[in-house]
Structure 1
Amino acid sequence: MPVDESSPAGKTVCVTGAGGYIASWIVKSLLERGYTVKGTVRNPDDPKNTHLRELEGAKERLILCKADLQDYEALKAAISGCDGVFHTASPVTDDPEQMVEPAVNGAKFVINAAAETQVKRVVITSSIGAVYMDPNRDPDAVVDETCWSDLEFCKNTKVN
């Protein structure tokens, strides 16, 4: 009997920043579909991750891995053995100087670790904030990967 390559049985996926809002929903959806999930969090024992442990299927198929976006080896260990990665983690701060560079470096670390461990697919998430803030864009324009928020507008209006 041929193996169904699209079946989640036996497949493992990493979700970075697993305790975050979007990531939590991704973890929930993956567990419901039968995937094993390796979720990266700053501290697996932190009570704020309780909601993840209470998800259906979590006892059997959720592994919380201690990993920081700036720790390449920890990310690589979490990603190792996975079929795919959902990269949702991002630093959160009001200071753009402390957010942009660590976010970019973290994304590079995830991509490099995925390549090094032969992960098949990587999905990188973002927010509407990355594309929405452009006062010169036609409100009816289609927004795609070529559209970005106007950085000067965001700085001048103190939009975070």
Structure 2
Amino acid sequence: MPTAETTTPVPALSGQGRTVCVTGAGGFIASWLVKRLLEKGYTVRGTVRSPVDPKNDHLRALDGAADRLVLLRADLLDPESLVEAFSGCDGVFHAASPVTDDPEMMIEPAIRGTREAGQPLETSLEALETSLEVAAVAALHNHCPEHYDDLEIE
């Protein structure tokens, strides 16, 4: 079993020169993820329903967004829009999820959307290093933004 004396610390990774996609970039969890990725130097391709919608202005205001954030229109049930969004990316953070108080209207579309998001990964990511599905549903109620500064992105 490794001990403190025998383990080598893992250096924090830098996103310099690396591009990732964050689906559902305008959502609560995904917005924080985009923020942290930009802080680490990543170029972020964020998918949203409408890139020009003012509700995405909070993303454009993030440090580094002017140079390293691209918002793209995508629909989880339209694989072609995802192929375009994932093209040229080193990794994908799948955080898009339907938001509603009705579980019947949320669970099935979320599962179907996740399956659809997985299909383009095989063809569009030449070197997928990270694929992470974020359960956005978990933060719909009683979220505390002050704790998200502790989120570690490497």
Superposition TM-score, scaled by structure 2 size: 0.75
Q: Give the structure, 1 or 2, with the largest relative contact order (CA under 8 Å, sep 6 or more).
A: 2
Whether 1:26 and 2:33 are equivalent positions in the alignment is yes
User: Paired residue for 1:124?
Assistant: 133
Displaced runs of 4 or more, over 4 A: 127-130
**1:69–1:102 CA contact under 8 A, matched in 2:** no
The Cα shift of 1:86 comes to 0.7
The Cα shift of 1:55 comes to 0.5
1:123 and 1:17 mapped to 2: Cα distance? 13
User: Paired residue for 2:118?
Assistant: 111
1:38 and 1:89 mapped to 2: Cα distance? 13
**Identity of paired residues, percent?**
58
**1:36–1:61 CA contact under 8 A, matched in 2:** yes
Q: 1:70 to 1:128 in 2, by over 3 A?
A: closer
Equivalences, count: 126
Whether 1:13 and 2:20 are equivalent positions in the alignment is yes
Q: Which has the larger radius of gyration?
A: 1
2:100 and 2:73 mapped to 1: Cα distance? 21
Superposition TM-score, scaled by structure 1 size: 0.72
Runs of 5+ in structure 2 lacking a partner?
1-12, 140-154
Superimposed CA distance per residue, residues 125-154 of structure 1 (whole angstroms, 9 cap, x where no aligned partner): 115759xxxxxxxxxxxxxxxxxxxxxxxx
1:19 and 1:114 mapped to 2: Cα distance? 21
Runs of 5+ in structure 1 lacking a partner?
1-5, 131-160
